[in-house]
Amino acid sequence: MLATLRQKRVILGVSGGIAAYKSADLVRRLQDAGADVHVVMTAAAQQFITPLTMQALSGNPVHTELLDPAAEAGMGHIQLARWADVVLIAPASADVIARLAHGVANDLLTTLWLATRAKRAVAPAMNQQMWAAQITQDNIATLEQQGVNVFYPASGSQACGDVGMGRMLEATELAQCCADLFATQVLTGKRVVITAGPTQENLDPVRYITNHSSGKMGFCLAEACIEAGAQVTLISGPVHLPTPERVQRIKVISALDMLVASQKAVAEGCDLFIATAAVADYRPASIAEQKIKKQGDNIFIELVKNPDIVATIAQAPNKPFVLGFAAETERVEEYARHKLSSKNLDIIACNDVSRTDIGFQSDDNAMTVFWREGMLKLEKAPKSQIARQLVAVCAQQLLTDTNHEITS
């Protein structure tokens, strides 16, 4: 199944080799699975297949030069490295494998390889004797020790006439290998409830109070939990985002709606409750039945406090493991630690929404995660990457937590 590739950001690196023709098919396979693909080609690769072909197939500009002024003015090599969820080099020649293993960064592909925090994988393709050479095997072992995923070649006839190991896997096989990188299964059998997006508190039939939450972080977390093997219920305020595959989505409007839906979902079975929603702190004391007309220069609206959803869930008997969020504009760490304690949370992830490059409406985020025994800083990265890191932290804490009985 390729579902885990949906909305993933894939950098496909193409190095020199006759197997480069398979990379064109691989682009289409990845796209058909829902991935966004950017292609990076070495100079040697361009002798086997043209950048124009790869651009036409991917729908994105092809990246070929490390110090291209036009490219650096757009998606430069460091930004490209940060953008990716996975960097897959297919085909990976013996030369490129050697350079990767020893940290040689003398072109765009090897430079972004060193600069990325994304998952990394190589699909070797070479003559059978080159593959069998001890130095190549040593380089492959070095890459694996560095945490690189190696999609080992198959055996068969080769373009040079030899027969043996060294044929790059077919595009369908590589797409599946790439998808498998995101299927961590660390939450297999667990039931997860996630709140996401803003709430909307009506003033009258046409006006309401809300906030700038896009829901992106919560939806990325839902996908990350699915990748990790969980059963996911996503309770979402009004947002314009597609429902992730295999996720049960419950649409709500107000904070009161979200509370009721959350309590019901938790009561039906929940191991992990993730509260990413930006819930309105207050709501109008009454909702006008008709549109409120202009009444002079000032108008006064009485507001009443909304229930604190995450605190309600976290302070209930037999509560699930709870991950809360703190979106602050000042004294971020201080407020986060206070909420961790006062709301009886197990983990809290906080970010500074006064920053214009992360948080609300942005595709990126940066967070500091606190729990009673420790903390972890998550540097700026796409929200999809941040989500997977948060899921990994939650899964680890769930394994060591003795205060919660698992519903599965």
State pLDDT tens for residues 56-89: 999 999 999 886 655 544 456 788 888 899 999 9
Q: What percent of the chain has pLDDT over 90?
A: 69
* Superfamily of chain region 191-400: CoaB-like (3.40.50.10300)
**Residue 11: what pLDDT?**
97
Same fold, 3-180 and 191-400: yes
**Residue 408: what pLDDT?**
40
Q: What is the pLDDT of residues 365-408, one digit of tens each?
A: 889 999 988 889 998 888 999 999 999 999 988 877 645 544 44
Contact (Cβ atoms closer than 8 angstroms) between residue 174 and residue 123: yes
Extended beta strands in 218-259, E state: 231-236, 247-251
Q: How many CB atoms lie within 10 A of CB 119?
A: 20
DSSP, residue by residue, 367-380: EEEEETTEEEEEEE
Judged against a pLDDT cut of 90, whether residue 332 lies above it is answered with no
Judged against a pLDDT cut of 90, whether residue 173 lies above it is answered with yes
- Mean pLDDT, residues 359-367: 79
Which sequence positions are flagged as catalytic?
A: 160
pLDDT, greater one: 6 or 96: 96
Cα–Cα distance, 266 to 12 (Å, whole number): 41
Considering only 162-166, 237-241, 282-286, 288-292, which range has the smallest mean pLDDT?
162-166
Contact (Cβ atoms closer than 8 angstroms) between residue 119 and residue 384: no
Q: How many CB atoms lie within 10 A of CB 299?
A: 10
Q: CA–CA distance from 54 to each of 30, 32, 51, 299, 335 (Å)?
A: 13, 15, 5, 59, 49
Task: State the virtual CA torsion across 253, 258, 261, 267 in degrees, nearest 10.
Answer: 180
Locate the domains of the chain by residue range.
3-180, 191-400
Return the CATH number of the domain spanning residue range 3-180: 3.40.50.1950
Residues 6+ apart with CB under 8 A from 107: 42, 43, 66
Judged against a pLDDT cut of 60, whether residue 289 lies above it is answered with yes
Is pTM beyond 0.95? Reply is: no
